[in-house]
Amino acid sequence: MKKYILIVCLFCLQFLMGQNSLEKLEKLNQYELLKEQEEYERVYIEVGLVKPIGNLSNKFDVSQCYGFWFRSKIKNNDFIDIGLNVVIPNNASNINVKYKDSVFSIGSRRFGGNLGFRFAKVFPFSNVSPRNNVEWFTGFGVATMFYDANHKRYEDIINGNYDAESSEKSYEFALTTLQFSQGIKMNIKNVGLQFNYQFTPYGLFENRIEPNFGSQSIMFGIYYRQ
């Protein structure tokens, strides 16, 4: 009889220990899940292509774009990115700029970009793997395109004082405006794909360029995040 009682006691003890182990394992899994949900990638290195559309397509062709962004968490699945993009305009055409009573054609420096911030809303595919997700983002910032504008030479031509020495002096002309962007990303662990629309009204603050200069482009690319 004592033997059976001992067996029952051992069985009950093993059952209780098993239940306790399961509870600990469940708590550990919950902790790991919460920890994974709290962790997020902070640095984004992006590579892509920018395709101008509308009137802006007359200014340059499909061009390379490089970005560096730093992410901070607002709350839950809401984030803010701060960073910049650099654009290398391909096959950029000259633009006409008004200077006093004259119009001059100036060439591109083949360099531009934007600086700003993006608000992102993340939608995880599942709670088990929150790093695999889709995000919708809205961006605001300042965009610039650089051109080679030798204003000293233009002034000399207008005043009849042009000489060879003045023609060697170079001055940059920058088209600067506000930028608005709207896009979507798909993230799989540390890599992702993105597509976004960009609106940059270059004529908003610059009345020396043609009225219909162009303002729209789309950007698509890949990125690595860490």
pLDDT above 80 for 17 = no
The predicted-structure confidence for 22-56, as pLDDT tens digits, reads as follows 554 465 455 454 545 567 899 999 999 999 999 99
Fold designation for 41-225: Porin (2.40.160)
Which DSSP letter does residue 205 get? Answer: S
Residues of the chain above pLDDT 90, percent: 50
The domain limits of the chain are 1-39, 41-225
* Banded pLDDT at 89 (limits 50, 70, 90): very high
Query: Bigger pLDDT: 76 or 27?
Result: 76
pLDDT of 158 reads 47
- Per-residue confidence at 225, pLDDT binned at 50, 70, 90? very high
Q: What is the pLDDT of residue 219?
A: 97
Query: Across all residues in the chain, what is the average pLDDT?
Result: 81
Mean pLDDT of the 185-204 span = 94
**Residue scoring higher pLDDT (9 or 190):** 190
Across the range 198-222, mean pLDDT stands at 91
| More confident site: 211 or 138 | 138
Q: How far apart are CA 26 and CA 101, in angstroms?
A: 78
60 contacts: CB under 8 Å, gap ≥ 6: 52, 89, 90, 91, 92, 93, 108
Q: Which residues contact 86 (CB under 8 A, 6 or more apart)?
A: 65, 66, 67, 111, 112, 113
Mean pLDDT, range 167-176, rounded to an integer: 65
Q: How confident is the model at residue 19 (pLDDT cuts 50, 70, 90)?
A: low
- The least confident of 60-69, 70-79, 177-186, 208-217 is 208-217
Query: What pLDDT, in 10s, does the model give residues 112-167?
Result: 999 999 999 999 998 777 889 999 999 999 999 988 766 555 555 545 554 545 44
pLDDT of residue 162: 47
Q: What pLDDT is recorded for position 31? A: 42
